[in-house]
Amino acid sequence: RAKKAGRNNYATSKAELHASHFEHLQLENMLHNAIAGEQLVLYYQPQVNADTGQINAVEALVRWEHPEYGIISPGDFIPIAEESGLITEIDEWVLRTACWQNVQWQRKRYEPVKVSVNISTQQFMQKNLPNKIADVLADTQMDPTLLEIEITETMVMQDTDLSARQVERIRHMGVKVAIDDFGTGYSSFQYLKHFPADTLKIDRVFVKDVDTNDNSRSIMKSIINLGHELNMRVIAEGVETQQQLLQLRHRSIDDIQGFLFHKPMPAAHNWEKLFRKPTQ
């Protein structure tokens, strides 16, 4: 494209390229320092039983607490981390920290809850991922059955054979696997056949208008039934209203994750109260 363009155009695009390249390097550098300087923190969002409200699990969600810019959300820095390859380091840190935190909670004799960790495509496609998970489990003395790894359909579709092998090796250790953002990817049901995943997480887009839109309701019902037929725990993401909750309960959803119950909260939050069994 540069060759076809005139001299001026070329100069402009080169300048732009330089600027973006510079900014990129700067961001990359900042992110690198963030990892080393302990600016990354994990928030945890509870996943609750739709009928009792009891916490079954928490999802670990990373945030970047920048000394100048404040809290930066993963949507703003995960893509940069993926491009630069720093994501592998971040994902490993997240995994290790989430396991460490879970063990701390267990030591305080809280009711056992699972912790769910998002894994990037790059990390998921690395053949040594199961070994890395095994190392972290051993180092932190984490109970493998309390760990869940979240992957997306889009990842799976990139290489179904490798994905199936990875999932098998991960589950062989006793670690659970969840399919995240279900319904937003290619959604070919074909792959589910080869995927003995434990949890199906229905994306927020289907939850959003489940109380007002007949089609959304039908789709929701079908996905929940599909998950149950395949012996999966089915969970709805992004539940914000009581009406949505009622509709989901009515369709036998297992678990709920959303602001209606809990927002993501830092580890320093008073979890003791939340993790206790509801007294009634």
| Interface ranges with Mg ion (CB under 5 A) | 118, 150, 180-181, 237
Token pair 């991922």: residue: 129
Q: Binding ligand C2E by CB under 6 A: which of 50, 55, 58, 78?
A: 78
Q: Does 46 bind ligand C2E (CB under 6 A)?
A: no
Taking the complex as a whole, the smallest distance from the CB of residue 16 to ligand C2E amounts, in Å, to 28
Instruction: Return the axis-axis angle of helices 242-250 and 214-229, rounded to nearest 10°.
Output: 50
CB of 50 to ligand C2E, least distance (A): 14
The answer to whether residue 91 forms part of the interface with ligand C2E (CB under 6 A) is yes
Using CB under 6 A as the binding rule, whether residue 144 contacts ligand C2E is answered as: no
Give CA–CA dist 123/135, Å, rounded. Answer: 15
Site for ligand C2E in 108-137 (CB under 6 A): 118-120
Distances (CA, A) of 95 to 28, 128, 146, 256: 21, 14, 12, 23
CA distance 112 to 143: 10
> Which lies closer to ligand C2E via its Cβ, residue 143 or residue 181?
181
Cβ-based nearer residue to ligand C2E, 10 or 132 = 132
- Residue pointed to by tokens 């889009």: 154
In the list 31, 94, 115, 202, the residue contacting ligand C2E (rule: CB under 6 A) is: 94
264 binds ligand C2E (CB under 6 A): yes
Whether residue 61 contacts residue 44, with contact meaning beta carbons closer than 8 Å, is answered with: yes
75 binds, among ligand C2E, Mg ion, none (CB under 5 to 8 A by kind): ligand C2E
Residue (62 or 253) nearer to ligand C2E, CB:
62
Placement of tokens 């935190």 in the chain? 101
Angle between helices 87-107 and 129-140 (to 10 degrees): 30
